[in-house]
Structure 1
């Protein structure tokens, strides 16, 4: 390039073009930084949401488990007796039915309340994690329905016109009802097995495994 050529270059346009390139590059860089920042923020918020929902579900799950355990206590405390009730051993069939109905109704109230809380936590978990959360929690909640049905079968059997399980040669069903209503391992001289309790524990454990994944994942994301 000759000196004349150099002098003939429109340096203003060159500088303007370079400035445009720099401005465009800066805009692209800013967009990339903003995009990365938004994605990081979204990951952090999702991690926090996962953690909070998992923690709420864990609290509701353990409260429900404890309520089921309490409702199945093998020993009926005096405070659970109906007002002015006589010894259940000396009561008539109708009195026995009313006695157990009163006891079971009192035991189901806190269990029903715990189940409502667990259902609410389940719905939030399903919104974030999908149908698997509902399926696993529902399996645990089914234990409440099974227990309630066994309790009222127990009451019906005590009534004067009840089906008296043992009298009809279906003692296996009678044992199943009794071992569902009461955790015999918490009573005196009870068996060492609790089939209903084992089923409940397995279903609680399945929810716990799902929770551990989301709790650990939420903690890692929130620390980034």
Structure 2
């Protein structure tokens, strides 16, 4: 074997080693990137689900509050207590609680959306 053949053989071995090293680093990098993406997705879905849960809790708490402010009554609600009948009172409270439940319905919808996303990511509950 001549010197040129030996150098060529060594060069081929070094190039093969470099190619194997590059492929190994690329595979490890892709695996790490995949784990990072999956972890980030799980974190974001979990965070959104927790936020939706807290929002639903807060909206339910507000809707169930026994305290009724004056601005919650309908505009045509009589200010004089002599004019208030049981039917007017019932209609006023129906108006108040129907307005209070609108944000609850929206919070439930958001919660359901986030729960479905979590179920899609993590599997059955």
Quick one: distance in 2 between partners of 1:73 and 1:15?
86
Indicate yes or no: 2:42 matched with 1:13: no
Question: What TM-score do you get using the length of structure 1 for normalisation?
Answer: 0.48
Quick one: distance in 2 between partners of 1:131 and 1:104?
34
Q: CA deviation at 1:44?
A: 1.9
Quick one: distance in 1 between partners of 2:22 and 2:75?
75
Query: Following TM superposition, where does structure 1 have runs of at least 4 consecutive aligned residues deviating by more than 6 angstroms?
Result: none
Where in structure 2 are there 5+ consecutive unaligned residues? none
Quick one: distance in 2 between partners of 1:60 and 1:16?
65
**Of 44, 48, 58, which residue of structure 1 is paired with 2:50?**
58
Quick one: distance in 2 between partners of 1:84 and 1:98?
11
Q: CA deviation at 1:122?
A: 2.3
Q: Secondary structure at the match of 1:131?
A: coil
Quick one: distance in 2 between partners of 1:107 and 1:96?
16
**Of 85, 91, 99, which residue of structure 2 is paired with 1:91?**
85
**Of 16, 24, 41, which residue of structure 1 is paired with 2:33?**
41
Aligned residues: 121
Quick one: distance in 1 between partners of 2:89 and 2:33?
62
Q: Deviations over 1:143-192 (max 9, x none)?
A: xxxxxxxxxxxxxxxxxxxxxxxxxxxxxxxxxxxxxxxxxxxxxxxxxx
Residue equivalent to 1:23: 15
Indicate yes or no: 2:116 matched with 1:123: yes
Q: CA deviation at 1:73?
A: 0.7
Q: Deviations over 1:185-210 (max 9, x none)?
A: xxxxxxxxxxxxxxxxxxxxxxxxxx
CA RMSD of aligned residues (A): 2.1
Where in structure 1 are there 5+ consecutive unaligned residues? 1-8, 133-224
Quick one: distance in 2 between partners of 1:91 and 1:77?
19
